[in-house]
Each structure stands twice: as C-alpha cells, then as structure tokens.
Amino acid sequence: MNKFMEVLSEKVLPVATKIGANKYLITLRDAFMVSFPLTMFGSLIVVFNNLPFWPDTLKNNFANLFGNGQSATMSIMTVFVTLAIGYYWAKTEEVEGIFGGVVALASFLILTPFTVLVTGANGKSIEGTGLLSLDRLGAKGMFLGILSAFLAAKIFVWLTKKGYVIKMPDGVPPAVSKSFASLIPALGTLFVFLIINAIMVGVFTTNLHDVIYNLIQKPLTGLGTGLPATIIAIFLVQFLWFFGLHGQVIVNSVFEPFWQTNMLDNASLTQQGTNALAEHGHIVTKSFMDTFTVGLGGSGSTLVVVLLMAFVMKRKQYKEVARLALAPGLFNVNEPVIFGLPMVMNVSLFIPWLLAPIVSVVIAYLGFASGLVPLTTGAQVPWTMPIFISGFLATNSVMGAVLQLVQFLIIGLIWFPFLKAIDNQEIA
C-alpha cells in the first residue's frame, strides 16, 4: 500500500497541481464566484415561490410581484460570468480589467440573436425583433458565453500588448487615458466577432448560439452530469484531498459549468410547474452537489465521522479533535477533522475516505432517478447550510431531508469499522 501511495505521489500529484494552477480554470472559477451572491438572491426567490404549503394563487401573486428577482439574477447568469471572465483574464495578463470585461460581454451579445418567437392571440408564432431571450442569457447560452469571453479577452489583451493603443498626454485624467488606450483593442476585438456573426447568419443562415448548444453544450452537459462523471468527480475530490490538495477547488473548476447550467435549467423548469421539472429536469446540478455531498459535513461528508469520534471512540485525542471539529462541521467546514484526525496521508482511512462519499452520491442519484425524491428546484442553497435544512430547501420537500438522513446513516456504517479499528489499535 505504501509503495502504491509513493507512485501516486510521484506521478499523479504533479499533474493535479498543474491543473489547479491553470490560468483558464482559475479565471473560470473566479468568474463563477462573482455570480454567487446574485445566484443566492435568485435562489431565495425560487425557494419562496415554490414552498410546498403555499396555494397556487399565492404562488402566482408572488411570481408576479417578485419574479424579477430571479429574472435579473439567475436567469441571466451568463451575462455576469462572461463579464467576469473578461475582467479576470485581462487582470491576469496585467491589462485594464474593466475594459476586458465589457468587451467580452459585448462580444457575446454580438453573437446573440436579438429575435424571439412570440405566440400571438391566434396561436400563431411570429418573430419579434429587438428582443433578447432569457434562455440565451442564462443556461442555454452558458457555453457560448464562456468560449466567446475567453476568445474576446485574449484578442483584447493581444492587441493591447502589441501596442495598438492611443497614448494620451500626462495631464489627461486617468479614466480618459485608459479609455483611449483601450479603444483600438476594443474595436478590433468587436469587429472580429461581428464578422463571425455575419458569416453564421449570412452564409449558414443560423447563429452560433444554436450551433454551440446543439453540437457542444448539450452532449457535454449530458456526459458531464451523468452518474459515471459524478462518481469520477467525487473520487477526484477525495483523492486530491488525501494528499492535502484542495480537491473541491481543482475539480469544481472543471465541472462547474455543467452543474451551473443544469441548475439554471431546473430553475427555469420550476417556473413552468412541478410536472415540467419532473419530466425534463436534471438530477446532477450545482444544488445537488452542494446539498447531497458537501452538505453532509464538508468534503467527504464527515459530519457523522465527527459524531462517531465524539461518542463512540474511546481515545482522548480523538474526542478532543471531535470537540473542536463539531461546531464547524455542522456548517460543513471540515478542515479541523481532515487535518486533525488526520485523514490526509492516513493510509488506514484511505478506503472509507474514498468509498463513503461515492456510495453516498450513488444513493442520492438513485433516490432522484427513482422519483422518490423531487428534483432540486434550481435554488442554490449555501453549502454551509446545516444538514436536513439544506435538503428541504434544495428540493422544497421533506424527502430531501430524508434522503440526507439515509446518506448520513450509510456513511456512518462504512466508517464505523475503520474508526473502531484505529481506536482499538491506539489503545492497545
């Protein structure tokens, strides 16, 4: 076992470290974090608008009065992500960030059709011009937004660094000077996207939104959020944490676009009604990953481990660690137990550390797939929300909390013999 760990340390960890330091993934991670407060606000609206004990008339009134809270945040999240990618990439390359952000956003909008099919009173669909569809600014446009933002930011930075800038005299105010310096790079970048859109519309009589969605986003999202891909994601998180690397940061930066896209889709379907969500919704979303993996005590779902240490294990050292780890563990912060037990580089606990979260996520997936638990509504519950409360809020059903209880007990059964073994060994 030790030889196996040495090989993994030498061969795998350098690759994981490189992935974690990748500029594209860091930019993407930071961009999604920019939208986090807005997503949380929109999630609150989703939760309140779909509480199970509210009558339909009250729900409709609430949607009419406060529905813009969701439309202006979650429903147009691609706008914020696109802007943030341009900003952070430009900052990384030591170019003025705000201009990189607005150029990236404008580039994405150039590729976006300003037409929407509207159903008239006679039931016939007509094409309305000068309109933007929320779908294209939200889940449906996410991948195009990410791709176009990176491309626009790179072109903008390249033109700036090549020296295609207008330099103003020293006495000119900084805001004016920076604006003129960004003028030519911005014009060049936007013209590139204007030509791309003209070719798609004029030559191929389509738009890049539909092409990217049908050829790339839809297949990749299906693959990236199926059960096999989810198991791989959980395995990688646990595996990297075992060696002291923050698995969540590294792995989430790769899978986040898939999970976020599915979450936005579910939020949109929730607005259409329970049946629409049940028939067309997604199981694996950002809400699913936060609530039914991290929401059970942090990475590795270790809340039950802390309780076993506190009330079952006999050695004083473990009880002391549990006493320190219990309060943060209730809010899914589990670094005290990861480094205090420890779980990092502890070969005796390698098997339950990997196995328990994987078994748990399979149980959760099957619970949703069987229809026993309603799908997550699209509300992004904070990952620090305590267990059972988070399960209810994510699904608007007590079955979400019941599922977490089942996961909690099974994780405890997997961990118990290993914890008991190391406890007995230490006492002996």
Residue 235 DSSP symbol: H
**Helical spans, DSSP H, in 95-173:** 97-110, 134-137, 142-161
Q: Measure the CA–CA gap between 203 and 205, rounded to whole angstroms.
A: 6
pLDDT of residue 428: 63
Average pLDDT taken over every residue of the chain: 88
Beta carbons of 407 and 400 less than 8 angstroms apart: no
Q: Round the CA-based radius of gyration of the chain to a whole number and report it.
A: 24
Which among 95-99, 119-123, 173-177, 250-254 has the top mean pLDDT?
95-99
> Which one of 306-315, 339-348, 351-360 scores highest in mean pLDDT?
351-360
Give residue for tokens 């990092």.
344
Does the pLDDT value for residue 108 go beyond 70?
yes
CA-based max dimension of the chain:
83
Select the more confidently predicted residue: 20 or 257: 257
Q: Is the pLDDT of residue 50 over 90?
A: no
**Helix (H) or strand (E) run with residue 125 in it:** strand 125-129
For the purposes of burial, counting CB atoms within 10 Å of the CB of 332, is it exposed (0-12), middle (13-18) or buried (19 or more)? buried
Judge contact between 265 and 250, C-beta under 8 A. no
Over residues 289-325, the pLDDT tens digits come to: 999 999 999 888 899 999 999 998 888 888 888 888 8
Q: Residue 205: phi, psi to the nearest 5?
A: 45, 45
Higher pLDDT, 352 or 21: 352
Question: In this predicted structure, what is the pLDDT of residue 157?
Answer: 96
On the question of pLDDT at 122 being above 80, the answer is no
In this predicted structure, what is the pLDDT of residue 355? 94
CA 106/CA 306 separation, integer angstroms: 50
Find residue 127's DSSP bridge partners.
117
- N-term to C-term CA, the chain: 23
By percentage, how much of the chain surpasses pLDDT 70? 92
Contacts of 405 (CB under 8 A, 6+ apart): 388
pLDDT score of 352 more than 80: yes
Q: Above 60 in pLDDT, residue 1?
A: no
**Range of lowest pLDDT (64-73, 111-120, 404-413):** 111-120
pTM beyond 0.85, yes or no: no
Report the C-alpha gap between 415 and 20 in whole angstroms.
Answer: 29
**Spatial CA neighbour of 108 closest among 32, 208, 214:** 208
Average pLDDT estimate for 84-97:
95
Helix runs in 243-273, H state only: 247-272
Query: Nearest to residue 360, comparing CAs of 415, 399, 322, 306?
Result: 415
Q: Calculate mean pLDDT across residues 269-277.
A: 81
C-alpha to C-alpha distance for 322 and 309, rounded to whole angstroms: 6
| pLDDT for the residue numbered 402 | 96
Strand partners, 128: 116
Residue 10: its pLDDT value, please?
65
